[in-house]
Amino acid sequence: MKPLQNIHCVARLAGRLLIVMVLTGGWSLFGPGITGAGSASAETHPFVQTIADVFVSRTRITVRLSSSADELDLIHGILPYEDTGKYDTQELLEGVDIHADFLLERFEIYDASGNKLQGRVVEKGEWEIPEEGIMSGRLIDYMLDYTFEYELAEQPEYLTFQNNIIDFNFTLPSEVNLRVKQAGSDAPYGANLKIKEPETIRFDWDKPLSRELSGEELKVWFEETREKTLGLTSYGGTYSFIYVTPREVRHEVLIPLASLATIINFEQEDRWYLEIEEQDRAKPQIEAFFSEGNPVEINGNLVQPRFDRIDFGGMDVRDFAMQRERKRISLANGRVGVIMSFPTRNLPDTVSVTWDKFSKMLKDVDVVLIGPDDAVEKSQFSRFLTENTIDWANPGIPPLPDVVDVQVEADRPLQKTPLPVVTMICGALVLLALATAAFRLVDFKKAAAASVGLLAIGILMWSYKVPVQLPGAGPGPLGDTDARIVFADLHTNLFRAFDYKTEEDAYDALARTTSGPMLQEIYLKMRKSLEIKEQGGAISNIEKVEILDGQIAPEPVPGSDIESPDYSYRCKWTLAGSVEHWGHIHRRTNEYEALFNVRNVDGYWKFTEYQPLDEQQGQVIRSVRKF
């Protein structure tokens, strides 16, 4: 390297950049691909452009990179002699090796787990430099070709490509013209990679895409791909899902970590990765970011979000569809899922959601709004639009019914006690006969004979009992039909309480159905049974409850009832519930059996004790919403 070469290089780069700014009015010059000899001079187009042809097989990635030899000047500072205006031939040849290592490091490929793949140089194109040498400004007439290989331990489903080919002073625009070909597929993929704007590609090895597919076959291929990717086919895109439900509005955002990192300054030791501890420290930053913008209005009132989940995962949306083990995340292909909820007492009349969080990388957001009637509306937020608000108005859908008390009938007949009336009369007559004999009012033998006869009749008539309403008697027991109706009403109320999305509202609703210590006990037990572990313990939305069998039980639930229950009821039922996030739905039907104590508490029927007997967890069935 010649003396003062670095200083001269910086000065020349600054001069070139100034020309670009004058010609283009800014920094965003991304010109056409390098065409070889006859191209415009590097003095008017100083930017770094590379052509990357990538061939992906099941076990190996082969990359052929082609770049202008002018990058030896622009990036590595190899300058011509000032006296001759020519480059040193040996220094140019040495620069070819330097540039090979530079490209191998800066053209980045990441696997599905966010690990950067390590490749090796397998070929460097021969460069025959003319004997007379190369004059200043003519390096752009020559192309440098390199071939890299990356060995794969398993066939890749996802690969992420990132352009980090930039000069050491970060002053020149850079672009990679990417062309990717999968083994077995004749349909290549193309993209232009700008600095730190990664591109993720999915590879289908069971059924690679072919140009020969007919229209119907292509439709089937896309539908199968959509199912495998859960409908989220843009790996570098940001998605916004807005759910309007009878008791809640929910805003879910799936955003590339690289896009979020252009807005939020995360604390990280390695600038390419976010470790688990760093993810935990980032969550308050993300909450603050979304709390300060993207306003949501319900019935015309601005509401603040409740953050239910902030998850970090890879580009594979299945990292979010099923709760996975936490791991460090690459900025190249990591994504962040944010779930914000806005509980409501009833179905809203109007909902309005605005997006105002844009950046250089976050230009567009795909929006899906899903109503309580499963109506789906697709839209898009964009930094190029003046209005970025999506509105929903209730088309006339009635609210869910509230949980109401189950009253004891005011005219319910009082309880009657069955008594052996004939036996009791006979007993009284025996006492009377003996009393008259004792006072010598009748002959003792006749009184004794009458008493024996009366006792015999009393014994014979013991089983004959007559219902008698005793003084102070309460309401009588329910019959089978009435008991079943009361239980069904209480059972329905029990699960309606879980429609409410705040613990306070759920407790208030349960208090209309349960009494005593069972209130908290049944809330915790039922809530646990409604959890879907695969979704991080998310609570199912109850879609249907069906009683399969039920009858009055002979023995009550052993428990802490101060008073005995009016009756106990053994019931078997099924519960169908679902959890939906980011457009993919998890449904499960469980079967339960339990014993309940039912008692009249201050004029209202209540569950006072609950004993689970059996629970059969159904299989979680996943589906993708059409949008």
The pLDDT of 454-464, averaged and rounded, is 76
pLDDT at 46 exceeding the cut of 70: no
> Is residue 27 very low, low, confident or very high in pLDDT (cuts 50, 70, 90)?
very low
Phi, psi of 218 (to 5 degrees): -65, -40
- How many Cα atoms occupy the beta-carbon half-sphere of 229 within 13 Å? 20
Lowest mean pLDDT among 114-123, 126-135, 517-526: 517-526
**What is the model's pLDDT at position 507?**
85
Highest mean pLDDT among 23-32, 379-388, 455-464: 379-388
What's the rounded Cα separation, in Å, for the pair 248 and 232? 24
**What is the model's pLDDT at position 467?**
73
pLDDT at 57 exceeding the cut of 70: yes
Phi, psi of 126 (to 5 degrees): -70, 140
**What is the model's pLDDT at position 569?**
94
> Is residue 226 very low, low, confident or very high in pLDDT (cuts 50, 70, 90)?
low
The pLDDT of 73-80, averaged and rounded, is 88
Q: What is the DSSP letter of 407?
A: B
Taking only the tens place, the pLDDT of each residue in 469-506 is 666 555 556 778 888 999 999 999 988 888 888 888 88
The count of residues in the chain is: 627
For the chain, percent of residues with pLDDT exceeding 70: 80
Classified as helix, coil or strand, 157 is coil
- Own/partner long-range contacts of 465-472 (Cβ < 8 Å, ≥24 apart): 465/418, 465/419, 465/420, 465/421, 466/418, 466/419, 466/421, 467/416, 467/417, 467/418, 467/419, 468/416, 468/417, 468/418, 468/419, 468/421, 469/414, 469/415, 469/416, 469/417, 470/416, 470/417
> Is residue 234 very low, low, confident or very high in pLDDT (cuts 50, 70, 90)?
low
| Sign of the dihedral defined by the CA atoms of residues 88, 91, 95, 97, in that order | positive
Q: Nearest 5 degrees, angle CA 366-CA 116-CA 365?
A: 5
Closest among 502, 525, 522 to 514, alpha carbons compared:
522
pLDDT at 97 exceeding the cut of 90: yes
pLDDT at 188 exceeding the cut of 60: yes
DSSP assignment string, 423-458? HHHHHHHHHHHHHHHHTTSS-HHHHHHHHHHHHHHH
User: Between 207 and 94, whose confidence is greater?
Assistant: 94
Q: What is the pTM of this model?
A: 0.70
What's the rounded Cα separation, in Å, for the pair 28 and 49? 14
- How many Cα atoms occupy the beta-carbon half-sphere of 160 within 13 Å? 26
- 10 Å Cβ neighbour count for 427? 15
> Is residue 450 very low, low, confident or very high in pLDDT (cuts 50, 70, 90)?
confident
Taking only the tens place, the pLDDT of each residue in 566-593 is 889 999 999 998 888 878 788 889 999 9
User: Between 227 and 209, whose confidence is greater?
Assistant: 209
Taking only the tens place, the pLDDT of each residue in 389-431 is 999 999 999 988 888 888 887 555 556 667 777 778 888 878 8
**What is the model's pLDDT at position 533?**
61
**Cβ 48 vs Cβ 74: under 8 Å:** yes
Closest among 164, 509, 161 to 333, alpha carbons compared:
161
**What is the model's pLDDT at position 19?**
35
What's the rounded Cα separation, in Å, for the pair 130 and 118? 35
**Cβ 248 vs Cβ 541: under 8 Å:** no
The pLDDT of 91-111, averaged and rounded, is 93
pLDDT at 12 exceeding the cut of 70: no
For the chain, percent of residues with pLDDT exceeding 90: 33
Residues 6+ apart with CB under 8 A from 323: 533, 534, 535, 536
Helix axes 503-510, 480-496, angle to 10 degrees: 170
**What is the model's pLDDT at position 244?**
95
Taking only the tens place, the pLDDT of each residue in 165-182 is 887 766 678 889 899 999
> Is residue 144 very low, low, confident or very high in pLDDT (cuts 50, 70, 90)?
very high
**What is the model's pLDDT at position 506?**
85
Fold of 480-624: Nuclear Transport Factor 2; Chain: A, (3.10.450)
**pLDDT averaged over the chain?**
81
**What is the model's pLDDT at position 318?**
58
What's the rounded Cα separation, in Å, for the pair 606 and 443? 61
What's the rounded Cα separation, in Å, for the pair 283 and 362? 19
Residue 156, judged by CB atoms within 10 A of its CB (0-12, 13-18, 19+), counts as: buried
In angstroms, the Cα distances linking 343 to 288, 297, 303, 364, 519 are 19, 12, 10, 28, 22
Amino acid identity at 580 = E
User: Between 25 and 291, whose confidence is greater?
Assistant: 291
Taking only the tens place, the pLDDT of each residue in 369-384 is 999 998 999 999 999 9
